[in-house]
Amino acid sequence: MDWKQISVLVTGGAGFIGNNLVRALLDRGARVRVLDDFSTGRRSNLEDMLDRIELLEGSVSSGMDCARACAGMHFVLHEAAIPSVARSVADPARSNAANIDGALNILIAARDAGVKRVVYAASSSAYGDTPTLPKHEEMPPRPMSPYALQKFAGESYCRLFSSLYGLDTVGLRYFNIFGPRQDPKSEYSAVIPKFTTLMLNGQAPTIFGDGQQSRDFTHIDNVIFANLQAIACADRLNGEVMNIACGERYSLIDLVNILNQILGTRIEPRFAPGRPGDVKHSLADISKAKRLIGYEVKTPFREGIRQAVEWYRSHPSA
């Protein structure tokens, strides 16, 4: 693909995943437009790219903003969301407006603008707490939180728009993404940036539950590669959904032990009661993504953790 000949809208481009995707697209010469209302994304994530992107400050909750953002675009990477199980439990109405209404608004706008393909950021949380491992795309969804239900609804809308309107779509079910520029400071922050920054400062992380819960932690490099492959795929994807992960799992206690090994510390975690809506175990079957878009793991978990430690060490104010 000649990246210099394509234009890509990244919704939520100021967020963790979005701004990493923007950087990768710019590195390849694509024309990039960002739509973000900065409700969860950070302006600082885009500051060094403002002269190379078109920035639209607006919300996916607005149909007019979505129409303006999609006009003239070849592809849409729809990353905008309120990405937190805990936040969706605390405020289901607000997360519903961002995650379901926002997805529908983007699909309508993309359809009307003649966009070639919408790549939708789906979530492994749609699988719920099923005991079957690894989790594969033919399993019935069992969402355990408003966030999980909302992300599943979004991928369902993608399938519908492909079959009903001919808009090509694909859903990438992300599994516990981590990497540079992931915010460690919010109460809703993901576990890896939070644990890493605490332990870099000699502080004990808090594990909710017994620590045996496991995740298929996935470095951002793998998500970038999956999105680029989803854009470049010559075949129609027709609303297919596929797992994006590493195909291996680690418990939270494993995570603490690995961080201790890298840091040369012996910090013991604190434990607190488990949180509602949390899934016990997660592990992906990634064979479908390999088959349909040529996905492969670019950065394995342990290498990704080493990179994360070095990034947070060199960005202490992140």
Handedness of CA 280, 285, 290, 296 (dihedral sign): positive
What does each C-alpha distance from 120 to 103, 215, 223, 269, 300 come to in angstroms?
8, 21, 12, 35, 23
Q: Which of 90, 110, 209 is nearest to 168 (CA)?
A: 110
Which tokens belong to 156?
């369902």
What one-character DSSP code corresponds to residue 284?
B
Q: Is residue 281 a contact partner of residue 248, using CB atoms and an 8 Å limit? A: no
Rounded distance between C-alpha atoms, residue 12 and residue 80, angstroms: 4
Rounded distance between C-alpha atoms, residue 183 and residue 43, angstroms: 13
Rounded distance between C-alpha atoms, residue 21 and residue 223, angstroms: 8
Q: Is residue 161 a contact partner of residue 169, using CB atoms and an 8 Å limit? A: yes
Helix (H, G, I), strand (E, B) or coil at 165: helix
Is 120 noted as a catalytic residue in this protein?
no
Helices (H) and strands (E) counted in the chain, each on its own, are 11, 13
Catalytic entry in 147, 157, 174, 312 = 147
State yes or no: cis peptide before 134, omega within 30 of 0: yes
The shares of helix, strand and coil residues in the chain, as percent rounded to the nearest 5, are: 45, 15, 40
Handedness of CA 24, 233, 12, 86 (dihedral sign): negative
Which tokens belong to 311?
């990034």
Q: Is residue 259 a contact partner of residue 202, using CB atoms and an 8 Å limit? A: no
Q: Which residues are catalytic?
A: 147
